[in-house]
Amino acid sequence: MHPRVLVSAALLAVLVVAGSSAGCAQPVSGPTTGTADAPRDAALMLTHPRWSVPGPVDSVLAISIDGLNPAALRRLGPRGTPHLHEFMDDGASTLNARTEYEQTVTLPNHTGMVTGRRITARRGGHGVTWNDDRRRPATVQAAAGHDVASVFSSIATAGGSSALFASKTKFALWQRSWPDGIARTEIDERNARLVRTLQDDIATTPRAFRFLHLSLPDVVGHDRGFMSPAYLKAVRRVDRLVGLAVGTIDADPALAEHTAIIVTSDHGGRGATHSDRGNIDNYRIAFMVRGPGVDAGADLYALNPDYRNPRGGRPAYGARTQPVRNGDLANLALDLLGQPPVPESEHDLAQDLDVTAEP
């Protein structure tokens, strides 16, 4: 698929040492918190190379737009959501990807994104079935009843640094679950301020992986109705925030040349809620990839005949040919970085989700 990216020996040694201290970050206890590693990492950036050049990608930014119904992108078009449409023009995408099969709610689907697992624990899933701030089970591992690795822990094992920027407090679960894998956690319900924090981190700190969660469409959807005029306004606003995040990378040629970006969602929605897993407006989502080597303007299903466009259907995990799912995010990110898949994961385990046409 993609040329593999190797970590330089010098950076690997530095990040292993740095990661051991960053992994001791305390669990998040309030709406806004974070570790104080930015000055240290900024200094490292001045004296050590980031990632070596054999492969095209040395960093991945994953963006999840909570509650983004792809119908909103069609309704608003390029004029209403110019940044997301430009993103699709510049990369490979589909507006007909799928959520996890079992549920169409926030925390279970996001945990699938970073673990590459289904939800149901007895079938090897991550076990996170709730969607609130409860402290028991305290970790994903406790919910599953077995060890659960993630994109964060996989990157830490390889000597890389990851950061989480989330706009809902329930994401503190991830910091408790992978304290050695997430070097920095920022939780801020104010989406615009969260993006500014992300921009500062991009500008000052070399990282292999960042996860940005934007809650605005979901919050407005619950309050005013999904696909309502207020919701569509929120999608336009989040489009601008995505533009700011992507623009920070594009403004630095060195970053733009070596950074891949994945955009997806946890669920869609229409009307008052999104909890009905059998409603296409809830289980149909977008999945977009842009970066070095990614085919511009490509349809992900056209690039991947071994994946099946589900049309209006909702294939279960047992289907012979799977649709693109939000749970593919973890192993696609690792594949782009030249790393093996998350241990014991399921979605895109073979890392065969292509973003470039076969030569």
Percent of the chain with pLDDT strictly greater than 90: 84
pLDDT at 16 over 60: no
Tokens in use for 46? 């001045």
Is residue 152 a contact partner of residue 175, using CB atoms and an 8 Å limit? no
pLDDT at 48 over 90: no
Q: How far is Cα 189 from Cα 105, in angstroms, rounded to an integer?
A: 18
Q: How far is Cα 59 from Cα 44, in angstroms, rounded to an integer?
A: 16
Average pLDDT for residues 179-184, to the nearest whole number? 98
Q: What pLDDT was estimated at residue 5?
A: 33
CA distances from 319 to 221, 308, 323 (A): 32, 10, 9
Q: What pLDDT was estimated at residue 356?
A: 96
Average pLDDT for residues 307-334, to the nearest whole number? 98
Tokens in use for 27? 């669990």
Confidence of residue 321 (pLDDT cuts 50, 70, 90): very high
Q: Which long-range contacts (CB under 8 A, 24 or more apart) does 134-141 make?
A: 138/176, 139/173, 139/176, 139/177, 140/111, 140/115, 140/173, 140/174, 140/177, 141/177
Q: Which amino acid is at 188?
A: D
Average pLDDT for residues 318-344, to the nearest whole number? 98
Q: What pLDDT was estimated at residue 297?
A: 98
Tokens in use for 11? 């950076």
The residue with greater pLDDT, 358 or 318, is 318
pLDDT digit string, tens, across residues 242-267: 999 999 999 999 999 999 999 999 99
Confidence of residue 7 (pLDDT cuts 50, 70, 90): very low
Confidence of residue 358 (pLDDT cuts 50, 70, 90): confident
Q: What pLDDT was estimated at residue 21?
A: 31
Other CB atoms within a 10 A radius of the CB of residue 321 amount to 12
The residue with greater pLDDT, 164 or 39, is 164
Average pLDDT, the chain: 88
Q: What pLDDT was estimated at residue 33?
A: 43
pLDDT digit string, tens, across residues 205-223: 999 999 999 999 999 999 9
Q: What pLDDT was estimated at residue 122?
A: 97
The pTM for the full model equals 0.87
Q: What is the 3-state secondary structure (H, E, C) of the chain?
A: CCCCCCCCHHHHHHHHHHHHHHCCCCCCCCCCCCCCCHHHHHHHHHHCCCCCCCCCCCEEEEEEECCCCHHHHHHHHHHHCHHHHHHHHHCEEEEEEECCCCCCCHHHHHHHHHHCCCCCHHHCCCCCCCCCCCCCCCCHHHHHCCCCCCHHHHHHHCCCCEEEEECCHHHHHHHHHCCCCCCEEEECCCHHHHHHHHHHHHHHCCCCEEEEEECHHHHHHHHHCECCHHHHHHHHHHHHHHHHHHHHHHCCHHHHHHEEEEEECCCCCEECECCCCCCHHHHEEEEEEECCCCCCCEEHHHHCCCCCCCCCCCCCCCCCCCCCEHHHHHHHHHHHCCCCCCCCCCCCCCCCCCCCCCC
Percent of the chain with pLDDT strictly greater than 70: 85
pLDDT at 108 over 50: yes
Q: What pLDDT was estimated at residue 359?
A: 77
- Contacts of residue 84, Cβ cutoff 8 Å, sequence gap at least 6: 73, 239, 242, 263, 288
Q: Which amino acid is at 178?
A: W
Tokens in use for 184? 């920095």
Q: How far is Cα 201 from Cα 207, in angstroms, rounded to an integer?
A: 9
Kindly report which listed range (31-40, 176-185, 240-249, 315-324) carries the lowest average pLDDT score.
Answer: 31-40
